[in-house]
Amino acid sequence: MTHAASGPRSVTLPGAVGLASGRTLTGVEVAYETFGTFDDEGSNAVLVCHALSGDAHVATGPDAEGAERVGWWDGMVGPGQPIDTDRYFVICSNVLGGCSGTTGPGSIDPGTGRPFGLRFPLVTVEDMVDVQAALLDELGIRRLLAVVGGSMGGMQALSWARRYPERVASVLAGATTWRLGAQAIAFNEVGRTAILGDPGFQGGDYYEGDVRPNHGLAVARMIGHITYLSDESMHDKFGRRLQDRANHAFDFVTEFEVESYLAHQGRKFVERFDANTYLYMSKAMDYFDLAAGAASLADALAGVTARVLLWSFTSDWLFPTYHGREVVDALVAHGTEVSFIEFTSPYGHDSFLLENDEQGHFVAPFLEQAYAEVRRRGGDAR
């Protein structure tokens, strides 16, 4: 079965999707895009998982209107890139609970005929992965060459390794963790509080009116964006420089460059993202614990059969290097083949979106080796 490259597509999953909360969803729609061609052996499928504010458009290609649009990981995914779409068949889907075509809080609740809002069930990273697995079933893809992701996407990749070991040959996860620390959870809570306290939030039922919680969502994005940067990168980019003025205003106005930058990021985010989805995605990250239900992280990962590549960045204080090393130690305890790199970078958590050349030096050969091994074994044994 061969799939040509595509623009935005969607599929409605059959039956009911069971969630970790005990609730179910029916008629789940999944928005996805593909890049490259699925080979005849079924051996070259790579699932790329996006982070909190991402979507299915991982590489340059047509948008919903048919116009070419740059992807969010364009320096890593595409023709001739480390994840080479001339060689691999790349799939990326918007996660469950998202706001870019996949069923989420802004979708219509069939029971009421109105958007779900906060009546949408809370979802977990594992729920997202289960929906991805169901999407692959619909596409006729039984086994993946690799699952790749950074940040929340890395959480999904690691969850794939534990949850579906028989379906994935390799896992590549960067700037991620096996569970958030208290500081990261705290920042997420501040962002949610900004949204929930916005008068425009209206208990989550703002879709059918003209007033939305734009201020709260913008503030949440500003807070989140600070956590994605580092002290060094903020100093180099902004310092204490004033914006469009020579002296202090002695008023509560935007006057420093860094203030103007954060305000701009907040405004841009409101134009493309949904406040309810921000609540659901950040909560899913808080809930994520790869060792849940096991005596230890090592016990939780005992069944992992995939080859694993993990990487971190020196200035990423949101997902610090020791989180990755804990996963490495747990995998090594059971003899799992794992590689780990810590990159020196000044860009904080955002490094995984910016340091493409550095990441590519390791991602490309790791994927090539995994692909050669899968093909040596005869590809997908369908």
Active site residue 316: yes
Q: Which entry of 127, 130, 198, 316 is annotated as an active-site residue?
A: 316
Active site residue 50: no
> How far apart are the C-alpha atoms of 43 and 36, rounded to whole Å?
13
> Would residue 349 show up in a list of annotated catalytic residues for this protein?
yes
> Which position among 53, 93, 107, 151 bears the catalytic label?
151
Catalytic one of 57, 198, 349, 380: 349
Query: d(Cα 7, Cα 67) in Å, to the nearest integer?
Result: 10
Residues identified as active-site: 151, 316, 349
